[in-house]
Chains A and B, each alone.
Chain A
């Protein structure tokens, strides 16, 4: 034998699932919501989405160049961030909003912390919150579904109506299909659900986080005297639960941690909706829980196989 052999540590085979495939699957899963956004909010939806995605990809490219690191736009994670950010904007926003948002998401939330895998909060959500606080009016100016921009009269969202004690004004079916005012990608629970089921079938995510999150909101809303069905169908709960809360980087690694994380988000979302001054609490809940993920993880490290749990007393003493 004349040639040299490759010597490396085992294992010598690996799963075909790579980061890029996972991100591609997320993009595919977001397509039903993209279609719904065009159906309900018209061609302007596509424009906002395209600008947002392009900004994210360009920002990522420039950041990596400046930092002299290998370029990571090929992993498609910037495209996912761009889509999610656009889905969190109303159809009425001026074009500079997704541009600023995309910059904040990629430069501040993602690349400043080291790029993919290092961001401590979901970049798209972080950008949404920055935009919410910078442009509170722009970010809550809803055009009714089916109004493609010809008429600039603002309407109130379902959750805002509920908060104000006004009539909801929409049926469950409207809310489920997405025929209601709201952010581009969040209105259609149906479209998000199709995407979510796709992700679950492709084993990109497991149902634990969305399931616990949505069920918690449902149950707690019922207890607090809110209409539980409308609470889960309206607002950003579905997109938050399926696409934001399940973000790998900012959710706990452990099973127990995932359950605690989702449960806490459900509680916080409902409490904000019921008691705080804001009509909607999904973004803030997820962002706050993102921040305490390291803490949850530390407290839920699984015991090694076969190890026996220390008795409670000894554990407390060691604290």
Chain B
């Protein structure tokens, strides 16, 4: 996203990318509550980008917190650990929110939360040790993408800037804000370690201006590190999108089809770095996650630390249950989150929020004709022309889709949000990408 052009954009002489989404950070002041251990957890074997893991436990096996229960020999994958102590009930195939099926390990908990005896703080003397430790931690990008961290932290090209993504631009979600407020020591420790083994010169912590508490705290706590700066980002969606964040903080633009490392940067979500800092101290792998529970159908919106694999309905019960009949349940934020068909799904590593909306808020408007107002073109952080791309989709014209760069779309939803005609533009972009992929084969 080209940075805010201010006055010129107001006059219309420059684009004004992004969307004026409401913030609704209702849980900003809610300190994280730890949820009790649920009766059973269902741990999916695919909580990352890459090859799913194969379960390495069988029914009736005893597992402890941190016992490896899934692994894969593939390069692009991440280990999966038990989040509880208890007995494996079954290994089953479950439905994932995106409609695919994956293996999952269902564990009956014993409530003891005994740590696996093999767990200990990793001993790190070299970059190889460090990457091995990251791999053993099971860390994936916790911002939502689920990219395996040991691959991200071993870039092919040299990097000089580490960006910590604490923008949290999605409405409602305050889990990352609370990572800063409640876990800043581990965040900073994680930063020092990544810097040491990755050899970056500069670390930039980006936080949107609507979180002054987190900004002030991080400024104070990082004052002694001359290589860390806290950057106040404009509170405008989609500030936390990786390419947008890099552009805003470093003035470097990641070209289409390239990775942040290609412009010498690595981006880590604050929850990822906070977890890593803690792991390097105590050796407990990724077994819990802080999630924001909010929305008009939730009785008491809260930030909750939950065990991975906890059924969503248990979390909602912990937040007082539904106060109204939920009409829509979203995993993630309202701009990019996935609508779930049931609250039986278990928590995944990369989940950061669950939002339940009543019928009024879940209502979606019928699309009307495009009036070519150009709001989508103005709002697209990737400089695309969504309305033209929608034409390409309607006519199934792969040439138009390629010419107007559909593959650059990151599905942030700015276009659909601002559309006065309620066009389902993100839906069209997803279809458009599919058409292009199909045509390429």
Chain A interfacial positions (CB closer than 8 Å to B): 1, 3, 5-15, 17-19, 21-22, 72, 75, 77, 114-118, 205-209, 211, 248-249, 251-255, 258-259, 301-308
Least CB distance from B257 to A in Å reads 9
A15 with B328, Cβ < 8 A, contacts A207-B12, A255-B13, A305-B243 known: no
Is the beta-carbon distance between B420 and A12 smaller than 8 angstroms? no
Least CB distance from B75 to A in Å reads 26
Is the beta-carbon distance between B339 and A5 smaller than 8 angstroms? yes
Is the beta-carbon distance between B325 and A117 smaller than 8 angstroms? no
Give every chain B residue within 8 A of A77 (Cβ-Cβ). 371
Task: Tell yes or no: B418 within 8 A of A by CB.
Answer: yes
Give every chain B residue within 8 A of A8 (Cβ-Cβ). 328, 339, 364, 427
A206 to B338, CA, bound (A): 34
Question: Considering residues A3, A207, A209, A306, which has the most beta carbons from chain B within 10 angstroms of its beta carbon?
Answer: A306
Least CB distance from B415 to A in Å reads 9
Least CB distance from A91 to B in Å reads 31
Is the beta-carbon distance between A14 and B335 smaller than 8 angstroms? no
A305 with B2, Cβ < 8 A, contacts A11-B413, A209-B12 known: yes
Give every chain A residue within 8 A of B222 (Cβ-Cβ). none
Is the beta-carbon distance between B372 and A248 smaller than 8 angstroms? yes
Give every chain A residue within 8 A of B255 (Cβ-Cβ). 306-308
Least CB distance from B103 to A in Å reads 23
Closest-by-CB residue of A relative to B11 is A207
Give every chain A residue within 8 A of B427 (Cβ-Cβ). 8-9
Question: Which of A72, A117, A252 sits near B370, CB closer than 8 Å?
Answer: A117
Question: Considering residues A7, A13, A114, A248, which has the most beta carbons from chain B within 10 angstroms of its beta carbon?
Answer: A13
Q: Can you show 16 pairs from A to B with CB atoms below 8 A apart?
A: A9-B339, A11-B426, A12-B357, A13-B21, A13-B361, A14-B419, A17-B418, A72-B368, A116-B368, A116-B371, A248-B372, A302-B377, A304-B405, A305-B381, A306-B253, A307-B256
Instruction: Indicate with 1 or 0, residue by residue over B386-410, a CB within 8 angstroms of chain A CB atoms.
Output: 0110000000000000011100100
Closest-by-CB residue of A relative to B405 is A304
A22 with B382, Cβ < 8 A, contacts A9-B424, A15-B20, A307-B255 known: no
Closest-by-CB residue of A relative to B258 is A306
The list of the 4 closest CB pairs from A to B, nearest first, reads A206-B12, A208-B12, A11-B413, A306-B253
Is the beta-carbon distance between A11 and B243 smaller than 8 angstroms? no
Least CB distance from B296 to A in Å reads 11
Task: Tell yes or no: B73 within 8 A of A by CB.
Answer: no
Is the beta-carbon distance between B372 and A253 smaller than 8 angstroms? yes
Question: Considering residues B12, B361, B385, which has the most beta carbons from chain A within 10 angstroms of its beta carbon?
Answer: B12
Least CB distance from B388 to A in Å reads 8
Give every chain B residue within 8 A of A21 (Cβ-Cβ). 420
A308 to B343, CA, bound (A): 45
Task: Tell yes or no: B337 within 8 A of A by CB.
Answer: yes
Is the beta-carbon distance between B385 and A301 smaller than 8 angstroms? yes
Is the beta-carbon distance between B417 and A5 smaller than 8 angstroms? no
Is the beta-carbon distance between B11 and A11 smaller than 8 angstroms? no
Question: Considering residues B247, B256, B355, B430, which has the most beta carbons from chain A within 10 angstroms of its beta carbon?
Answer: B256
Task: Tell yes or no: B14 within 8 A of A by CB.
Answer: yes
Is the beta-carbon distance between A10 and B385 smaller than 8 angstroms? no
Least CB distance from B379 to A in Å reads 10
Task: Tell yes or no: B135 within 8 A of A by CB.
Answer: no
Task: Tell yes or no: B231 within 8 A of A by CB.
Answer: no
Is the beta-carbon distance between B417 and A117 smaller than 8 angstroms? no
Give every chain A residue within 8 A of B243 (Cβ-Cβ). 305-306
Task: Tell yes or no: B171 within 8 A of A by CB.
Answer: yes
A-B contacts besides A3-B326, A3-B327, A305-B256, 11 pairs, CB < 8 Å = A5-B329, A9-B424, A10-B413, A12-B339, A14-B365, A15-B417, A116-B371, A118-B369, A206-B12, A249-B371, A258-B12
Give every chain B residue within 8 A of A18 (Cβ-Cβ). 365, 420-422
User: Range of interface residues on chain B?
Assistant: 35 or more
Question: Which of B11, B253, B326, B385 sits near A253, CB closer than 8 Å?
Answer: B385
Give every chain B residue within 8 A of A5 (Cβ-Cβ). 326-329, 339-342
A8 to B243, CA, bound (A): 26
Question: Considering residues A19, A77, A254, which has the most beta carbons from chain B within 10 angstroms of its beta carbon?
Answer: A19
Question: Which of B247, B256, B417 sits near A13, CB closer than 8 Å?
Answer: B417
Least CB distance from B325 to A in Å reads 6
Is the beta-carbon distance between A255 and B15 smaller than 8 angstroms? yes
Closest-by-CB residue of A relative to B411 is A10
Give every chain B residue within 8 A of A305 (Cβ-Cβ). 1-2, 243, 247, 253, 256, 381-383, 408
- Which residues 113-156 of B sit at the A interface, judged by CB distance below 8 A? none
A24 to B137, CA, bound (A): 57
Is the beta-carbon distance between A6 and B364 smaller than 8 angstroms? yes
Least CB distance from A197 to B in Å reads 13
A302 to B376, CA, bound (A): 13
Task: Tell yes or no: B330 within 8 A of A by CB.
Answer: yes
Is the beta-carbon distance between A302 and B337 smaller than 8 angstroms? no
Is the beta-carbon distance between A11 and B417 smaller than 8 angstroms? yes
Closest-by-CB residue of B relative to A14 is B417
Closest-by-CB residue of A relative to B386 is A253
Closest-by-CB residue of B relative to A22 is B420
Least CB distance from B83 to A in Å reads 24
Is the beta-carbon distance between B426 and A9 smaller than 8 angstroms? yes
A6 to B359, CA, bound (A): 9
Task: Tell yes or no: B254 within 8 A of A by CB.
Answer: yes
Question: Which of B14, B404, B420 sits near A301, CB closer than 8 Å?
Answer: B404
